[in-house]
Homo-oligomer: A and B are copies of this chain.
């Protein structure tokens, strides 16, 4: 736990940014998870240890994302889920969503190229791939 706080703080300072209490707690919380986590869940967890405003959390998450310390993915019910980036320069990757427990995890780097022809004049520069199914616990 304390380990993760240290790690979070270092990740932020390594970028030459201000390591505020809110940022460190939020990032540490995300580092503790192997999955993508929703705003309300992060809020709940951080609040056990620290006062934290809803709005501040929105701003912290936005900031962490700008700094590439975190990335986000849309959940099945169309809210953002956040996941700490272990790698400094994260590669695009696919996500897996369990249709029963709604957990979202990151899959390996995705090399899928969209091999079909796009309509004339269209250009692609990014691909989002989401695999839905049942996770190990829900199978």
Chain A contacts to B: CB under 8 angstroms? 74, 78-80, 94, 96, 99, 105, 107-108, 110, 112, 114, 116, 118-137, 139
Chain B residues contacting A126 (CB-CB under 8 Å) are: 99, 131-133
Are the C-beta atoms of A132 and B128 separated by less than 8 Å? yes
Chain B residues contacting A128 (CB-CB under 8 Å) are: 128-132
Each complex incorporates copies of this chain amounting to: 2
In the assembled complex, how far is the CB of residue A92 from the closest CB belonging to chain B, in whole angstroms?
11
20 A-B pairs with C-beta separation under 8 A: A74-B74, A78-B78, A107-B114, A107-B116, A107-B118, A108-B116, A112-B129, A118-B133, A121-B137, A121-B139, A122-B133, A122-B134, A123-B134, A123-B139, A125-B134, A126-B132, A126-B133, A128-B129, A128-B132, A130-B130
Given contacts A74-B78, A78-B79, A79-B78, contact A131 B118 (CB under 8 A): yes
Chain B residues contacting A131 (CB-CB under 8 Å) are: 114, 118, 124, 126-128
CB closest chain-B residue, reference A127: B131
Chain B residues contacting A78 (CB-CB under 8 Å) are: 74, 78-80
